[in-house]
Amino acid sequence: MTTTPIKVGIIGVHPDKGWATTAHIPALKTLPQFRITAVSHNKQDIAQASALKFGADRGHSTTDELVNDPNVDLVVVTVKVPHHLELVTKALEAGKAVFSEWPLGMNLSDAEKMLALAKKQNAFTAIGLQTRSVPAISLIRDLVRDGYVGEVLSVSIIGSGIIWGEEINESYLYTLDMANGASMLHVPFAHTLDAALFALGSGMESVGGSLSNSRPMVRVAETGNQVPFTAPDQIVVSGLLENGAALSAHFRGGLSRGTNFHLEINGTKGDLILTSPVGYVGLGGFAVRGAQGDEQMHELPVPQTYDTLGIAEGFSQSVGIAYSRIASDMLDGTNLSPTFEDAVKLHQVLETIVSGNGERRDV
């Protein structure tokens, strides 16, 4: 489909801050299968500074320039969710392969529009569900697949949103409004649920949930001002997997003084537990434990065979592994990366939770 290296154009790059700078670019720099050839920012001087700092050939001040750059094979969309529909659409219409950060859209309708266009264009797509790439998740997936727990009976999740607590930075204020598609439900909860389902090799058969907001106002860290908080800071979800196993999950805003992340898989032959001292499975500090038969729970170290690309645990590591899978898909024709179709399926689950009023419905 393309030749090595894959030429990457990233929309929304600042030389000193932002998700592209902190996660995507460090990951790409470790992979010889890619070369960053173009970056964009809506201010020309920032675009040029970013291009100079990261070694890109061009710094564009408009999305149109970047997506129509003949020196770009793969367009990466790393800006805030409300802009995804417009930018992904432009990239697809320009005939480019597209890697969009999750969530794909502000809502299911947006995601379905992008998927339909991608199919029409016969475009390669990837979605930033990089929590699937965490080595600990890969280990659990392999253990479940190889029968460590036997038949899965239940899955239990406790998580914390990290933000969406009593204080929030100004840069995250847009996440306080559900309509922007970047709430605790859409980001840490969705990433965690997707990773758990990936590890289990299963989808949801039915799901329901209750969402509540225990903090109608939140303090802005930089100013101390109180602002309205309309997105849920409590998420309680239950459902059934495709094999009939039960799933339950509770996410809380902010951080807990107790359990911040706990994923437990109970089966007919054994049990697996994944924990982290931080709020959800995307951040790091992972510990996998397991037991079979009469064993006591004990640590199951992640073998070195699970390639970390030499990147320290955290977002850049999982994003880097996600990019290595994208390279395999684009260059070798594999199907390792989650696509826009996977994104729409996850959006459908979230839509069912939001619209179900606590009732469990088929997905």
Q: How confident is the model at residue 310 (pLDDT cuts 50, 70, 90)?
A: confident
Q: Which helix (H) or strand (E) holds 137?
A: helix 135-145
What's the token pair of residue 335? 């199907």
Longest dimension (CA), the chain: 64
Beta carbons of 77 and 84 less than 8 angstroms apart: yes
Beta bridge partners of 99: 76, 126
Share of the chain above pLDDT 90, in %: 90
What's the token pair of residue 240? 């059934």
Assign residue 358 a region (left: φ > 0; alpha: ψ between -120 and 50; beta: otherwise). left
Q: What is the topology classification, in CATH, of domain 6-123?
A: Rossmann fold (3.40.50)
Mean pLDDT of 133-156: 97
Query: Cα(108)–Cα(85) distance, rounded to whole angstroms?
Result: 11
**Buried (b) or exposed (e) across 108-131, using 16+ Cβ within 10 A?**
bebbbebbebbeebebbbbbbbbb
Instruction: Decide if pLDDT at 1 tops 80.
Output: no
Place of tokens 């758990």: 196
Beta bridge partners of 338: none
Q: How confident is the model at residue 21 (pLDDT cuts 50, 70, 90)?
A: very high
pTM for the structure as a whole: 0.95
Tell me the domain boundaries of the chain.
6-123, 132-307+342-362
Q: What is the pLDDT of residue 282?
A: 66
132-307+342-362 in CATH: which number?
3.30.360.10
Q: What is the pLDDT of residue 24?
A: 96
Q: What residue spans of 307-360 are helical by DSSP H?
A: 315-332, 340-355
User: Model confidence over 93-120: pLDDT tens digits?
Assistant: 999 999 999 999 999 999 999 999 999 9
Q: Using alpha carbons only, what angle is made at residue 50 by residues 46 and 53, rounded to the nearest 5 degrees?
A: 135
User: Model confidence over 161-202: pLDDT tens digits?
Assistant: 999 999 999 999 999 999 999 999 999 999 999 999 999 999
Q: How confident is the model at residue 4 (pLDDT cuts 50, 70, 90)?
A: confident
Cis peptide before 103 (omega within 30 of 0): yes
User: Model confidence over 47-91: pLDDT tens digits?
Assistant: 999 999 999 999 999 999 999 999 999 999 999 999 999 999 999
Query: Cα(157)–Cα(148) distance, rounded to whole angstroms?
Result: 19
Q: What is the pLDDT of residue 70?
A: 97
Mean pLDDT of 133-144: 96
Q: At what angle do helices 108-121 and 340-355 cross, to 10 degrees?
A: 160
Q: How confident is the model at residue 357 (pLDDT cuts 50, 70, 90)?
A: low
Q: What is the pLDDT of residue 105?
A: 97
User: Model confidence over 221-280: pLDDT tens digits?
Assistant: 999 999 999 999 999 999 999 999 999 999 999 999 999 999 999 999 999 999 999 877
- Average pLDDT across the chain, whole number: 94
Query: Cα(361)–Cα(355) distance, rounded to whole angstroms?
Result: 10
Beta bridge partners of 58: 38
Query: Cα(250)–Cα(261) distance, rounded to whole angstroms?
Result: 10
